[in-house]
């Protein structure tokens, strides 16, 4: 078989394996986190012709893509499978391109993809229907062309990189945070290579998403300036959590180290230190002739140092996780000459990743929300209050009117509006919204545990939102797990 076809075959087999890791048991718990469910709701609304939330969470491109996929699948399972597939192809496609560029043997390429693609972080984030999958697509796409720009100094490569990056700002606002890093790199490393014409073109490229969505907002009657306003006014805002105002900075410096030691493969930290030490003699020449590998090392270091000082969640590592795995791979590839020894270590690393996935992700892929929705239907409830969590919404009949509340202060007024029941969801504990004491002595109609809420990673992912550290997040997770019931349906008297 020609080498080209062997590569295609290997790409398909690896992608199928990594896709399987991401979707295993997802048919049981397709949506359980707030952001995923909110995106699902918005996709349904847009498909029905309601564009009022198109710019919600500053990710209009994802909302439009979700709407198309929802129109085809009409299901939450179809949407989350699509996001998992996108994430899989992003990481596999990038690594195959990189391996071909570096002229790795096919067997080495296979191990690189298996190790990096099976990262527990990437597998877990692929199981959300949020922004991470498309973030990975556009970020790795940008990195590809940016590395080619560093190597070849062809203006078109920088233009391609800019186009992808500009679109990336419409799928994850954190692309805007990363922009100063890359501008700084360009100022130091590449300013003499960029013509004024290219600089002007890049400026127009970065303006174009704002122009496009301003026009679309005008066309759809949701406001011509709404996208611009939400994109810039909420970056440093605490409004996403109405009960936990706070700043951008956080000094739990051990958060990511603890997370990697407990939920990831800790060898990536050792590999990062090793690779920095190994290439220490190249940093001075790098200023005059930047090379792709040194750039990836420098970017990873700078980014990691920055996120140590700001609010934290495991997804903060998304932008550098593939590179951490790659540094582990290359630190061994260049020093272990015996292939059977090298591949044995790679197999152990892959096995460790799979063990972590099986310990920290799959045990929590079970849900009681469909059962709760059935009870709500049997009780003939037409107006329902939800305590912060949206987990039951995808399973509710569309005839049921529901409203999310974040404390018990509104109960009296909402009862007057005809709301008869409330679902006490322990997602409120994970998000730090515990002010529902007025209902402490209420007798439940139905109560049940919700296994998906027991996942420690879920609490850690909300640490940024709640403004807490690693230990506090793990304590919240423990509190939820120890409660006799996590979903409690109550009648409002």
- Residues 125/87, Cβ–Cβ less than 8 Å: yes
The token pair at 157 is 């490569």
Q: Determine how β-strand 444-448 pairs with β-strand 421-425.
A: unpaired
- Residues 227/60, Cβ–Cβ less than 8 Å: yes
The token pair at 139 is 């970020």
What does the pLDDT read at residue 238?
44
CA angle 96, 121, 368 (to 5 degrees): 125
Mean of the per-residue pLDDT values of the chain: 91
The edge-to-edge listing of strands for the beta sheet with 421-425 is 401-405, 383-387, 421-425, 487-491, 444-448
The token pair at 98 is 């990189």
Collapsing DSSP to helix, strand or coil, 186 comes out as helix
Whole-angstrom distance, CA of residue 253 vs CA of residue 206:
33
What does the pLDDT read at residue 239?
45
Alpha helices in 238-393 (DSSP H): 255-263, 267-278, 283-288, 292-307, 321-333, 339-360, 369-378
What does the pLDDT read at residue 250?
80
Is the pLDDT at 95 greater than 50? The verdict is yes
Mean pLDDT of 36-55: 95
What does the pLDDT read at residue 2?
72
Whole-angstrom distance, CA of residue 116 vs CA of residue 124:
13
- Residues 155/132, Cβ–Cβ less than 8 Å: no
State which of 86-100, 192-206, 285-299 shows the largest mean pLDDT. Answer: 86-100
211-243: pLDDT as tens digits:
999 999 999 999 999 999 988 875 555 445 555
Whole-angstrom distance, CA of residue 63 vs CA of residue 112:
32
Measured over the CA atoms of residue 228, residue 231, residue 237 and residue 242, the dihedral's sign is positive
What does the pLDDT read at residue 265?
95
What does the pLDDT read at residue 493?
79
335-374: pLDDT as tens digits:
898 999 999 999 999 999 999 999 999 999 999 999 999 9
The token pair at 283 is 């940093």
Q: Within 10 Å of residue 399's Cβ, how many Cβ atoms?
A: 7
Mean pLDDT of 89-113: 96
State which of 28-32, 60-64, 186-190 shows the largest mean pLDDT. Answer: 60-64
What does the pLDDT read at residue 61?
97
401-419: pLDDT as tens digits:
999 999 888 898 999 999 9
What does the pLDDT read at residue 445?
95
Whole-angstrom distance, CA of residue 229 vs CA of residue 280:
44
| Greater pLDDT, 292 or 480 | 480
261-310: pLDDT as tens digits:
999 999 999 999 888 888 776 666 556 667 788 899 999 999 999 999 99
């Amino acid at each position: 078989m020609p080498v080209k076809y062997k590569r295609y075959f290997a790409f398909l087999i690896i992608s199928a394996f990594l896709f399987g890791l991401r979707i295993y048991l997802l048919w049981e718990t397709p949506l359980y986190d707030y952001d995923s469910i909110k995106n699902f709701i918005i996709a349904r609304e847009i498909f029905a012709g309601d564009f009022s939330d198109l710019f919600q969470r500053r990710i209009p491109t994802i909302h439009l893509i979700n709407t198309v996929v929802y129109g085809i699948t009409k299901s939450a399972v179809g949407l989350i499978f699509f996001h998992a597939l996108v994430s899989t192809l992003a990481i596999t496609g990038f690594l195959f391109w990189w391996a071909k560029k570096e002229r790795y043997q096919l067997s080495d390429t296979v191990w690189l993809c298996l190790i990096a693609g099976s990262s527990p972080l990437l597998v877990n984030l692929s199981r959300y229907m949020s922004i991470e999958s498309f973030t990975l697509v556009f970020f790795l796409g940008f990195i590809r062309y940016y590395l080619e720009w560093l190597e070849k100094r062809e203006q078109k490569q920088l233009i391609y990189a800019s186009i992808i990056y500009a679109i990336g700002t419409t799928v994850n606002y954190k692309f805007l945070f990363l922009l100063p890093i890359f501008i700084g790199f360009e100022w130091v490393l590449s300013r003499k290579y960029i013509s004024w014409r290219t600089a002007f073109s890049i400026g127009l490229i970065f303006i174009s998403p704002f122009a496009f969505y301003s026009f679309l907002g005008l066309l759809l009657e949701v406001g011509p300036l709404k996208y611009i306003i939400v994109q810039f006014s909420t970056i440093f805002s605490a409004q996403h959590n109405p009960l936990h105002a706070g700043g951008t900075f956080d000094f739990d410096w051990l958060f990511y180290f603890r997370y990697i030691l407990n939920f990831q493969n800790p060898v990536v930290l050792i590999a990062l230190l090793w690779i920095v030490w190994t290439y220490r003699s190249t940093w001075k020449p790098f200023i005059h002739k930047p090379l792709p590998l040194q750039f990836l090392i420098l970017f990873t270091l700078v980014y990691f140092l920055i996120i140590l000082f700001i609010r934290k969640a495991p997804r903060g590592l998304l932008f550098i996780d593939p590179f951490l795995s790659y540094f582990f791979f290359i630190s061994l590839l260049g020093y272990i000459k015996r292939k059977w020894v090298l591949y044995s270590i790679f197999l152990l690393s892959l096995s460790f990743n799979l063990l972590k996935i099986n310990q920290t992700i799959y045990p929590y892929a079970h849900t009681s929300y469909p059962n709760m929705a059935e009870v709500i239907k049997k009780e003939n409830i037409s107006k329902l209050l939800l305590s912060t969590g949206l987990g039951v919404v995808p399973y509710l009949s569309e005839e049921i009117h529901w409203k999310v509340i974040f404390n018990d202060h509104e109960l009296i007024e909402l009862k007057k509006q005809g709301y008869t029941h409330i679902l006490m969801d322990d997602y409120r504990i994970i998000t730090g919204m515990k002010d529902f004491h007025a209902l402490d002595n209420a007798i439940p109609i139905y109560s049940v545990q919700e296994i998906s809420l027991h996942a420690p990673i879920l609490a850690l992912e909300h640490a940024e939102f709640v403004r807490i550290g690693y230990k506090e997040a793990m304590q919240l997770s423990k509190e939820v797990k120890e409660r006799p019931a996590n979903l409690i349906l109550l009648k409002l008297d």
